[in-house]
Structure formats: C-alpha cells, structure tokens
Amino acid sequence: MLTEEGITAQLRESSTEFRELEDTHHRLDAELRELQKRHVLTPQEELLKKQIQKEKLAKKDRMAELIRLHREDQERSAAR
C-alpha cells in the first residue's frame, strides 16, 4: 500500500483536478505570506486574508478527499 506521499505523486501525474488544486493552494499560500509580512493590515487586507485562508483550507480539504478516495480505490482493487 502506498504512503500519502506516493498517492500524492500518483495524483499529480494522473489528475488534472489535483494538480490545479495543489497549484492554487501554493499560490494562495504565497499570497498569504506576503500579507503576513506587513505589520499592520487595513480592514480590506484583513478581509482578504480571511478569504485567502478559507479558500486555501477548502483546497487542502479537497486534496485530502481525493487522496482518501484514491486510497479506498486501491484497497478495493487489492481486495479483489
């Protein structure tokens, strides 16, 4: 059975959705780091920060779901 890293590598190769989620997650992470470098955020920047955090978490959750589904598919295939 593959580790999470192995499944992630397989999904990177086989799933456009997973690659797009991962790319977006990395982009959002970079945007968040840029905002966090500032000592004081305007109310608009605070709102943007919260939106980025929510979107980033949603992408991470979907990637975790894809990993779980892939693992379950592997387990079903191995049980046959």
Number of structural domains, the chain? 1
Query: How distant is the alpha carbon of residue 33 from its chain centre?
Result: 16
Per residue in 8-42, pLDDT (tens digit) is 999 999 999 999 999 999 999 999 999 999 989 99
* pLDDT, mean of residues 42-49: 97
Full-model pTM: 0.88
* pLDDT, mean of residues 63-76: 94
Share of the chain above pLDDT 70, in %: 99
Give the structural domain span for 68. Answer: 4-79
- Angstrom CA distances, 43 to 32, 49, 50, stand at 15, 10, 11
Q: Give buried/exposed letters for 45-58 (b at 16+ CB in 10 A, else e).
A: eeeebeebeeebee
- Angstrom CA distances, 39 to 1, 17, 42, 80, stand at 46, 35, 10, 57
